[in-house]
Structure 1
Amino acid sequence: MQFLKILFWCLLAFVAAVFTFGNWTTVSIQLFGGLVAEVNLPLLLLTTFLLGLVPTFVYQRWVRFRLRQRLLSAERALETERALAAAPPVTTAPAPPVIAPEVA
């Protein structure tokens, strides 16, 4: 199975390299204030891909972190409840009777 993963990533890298060499053209981008940026097409595509991927990835990691924290909190509460339920009941000795002083 590891071999197939390596083969897949190598094939993907090869396709990306062929795409990069085949599309190595300059693209003009109109910016604010009349500025024009000349950017290579593969760099532009990589930048737009990362602009979409990174926020989604960060959000997904944050959700996983919060769910993991909630799960750990619930597990700790469950362990506490189990420990309290398994502990033998505490019995206390009866208090000695209080003797009222005699009034003469």
Structure 2
Amino acid sequence: MKIIRSVLWVVIIVALALFTAFNWTSVDIRIWESLVLETKLPVLILVAFLLGFGPMWLTHRTTVWRLKRRIGSLEASQRSLIASQNAPTPNATAPNAPGRHEPVTGGTGIDTLGREDDRL
């Protein structure tokens, strides 16, 4: 892709050089009755091009800058959302909470009432 871009720039520069060489004539630009500007035709065309291109280029650059900032903000919020979803959540009741009691067995398979514990 870089080679295509380079070839395109070379073609544009050669075309501009040929246009400048064949059209290097003086032109008179009448701004007011008493104000006349004498300039070369390629310079006039370049100035006209830059007057049209400049504002559009600035508009494009500011739009790209604004969109990059917005993308960065959205990526940061996405990272924080993913981090909050992956964070461990605490249990509703702790293992030694006052309302929760585990039966205590002595390891013999018989509970405190003398019945055999079939959970072993």
TM range (shorter): 0.7 to 0.9
Aligned length: 96
Residues 67 and 5 from structure 1, CA distance in 2 versus in 1: closer, same or farther, beyond 3 angstroms?
A: closer
Q: Which residue number in structure 2 is paired with residue 68 of structure 1?
A: 68
Where in structure 1 do 4 or more consecutive aligned residues deviate above 6 Å? 92-96
As a proportion of its length, which structure holds more helix? 1
Deviation string for 1:50-97 (max 9, x for gaps)? 11111111100110110110011011111111111110113586999x
% identical aligned pairs? 36
Q: CA RMSD in A?
A: 2.4
* TM-score normalised by L of structure 1: 0.78
Residues 13 and 76 from structure 1, CA distance in 2 versus in 1: closer, same or farther, beyond 3 angstroms?
A: same
Deviation string for 1:24-71 (max 9, x for gaps)? 111111124721100100000000001111111110011011011001
Bigger radius of gyration among the two: 2
| Correspondence list, 1:1-104, <5 A | 1-32=1-32, 34-90=34-90
Cα distance, 1:17 vs structure 2: 1.2
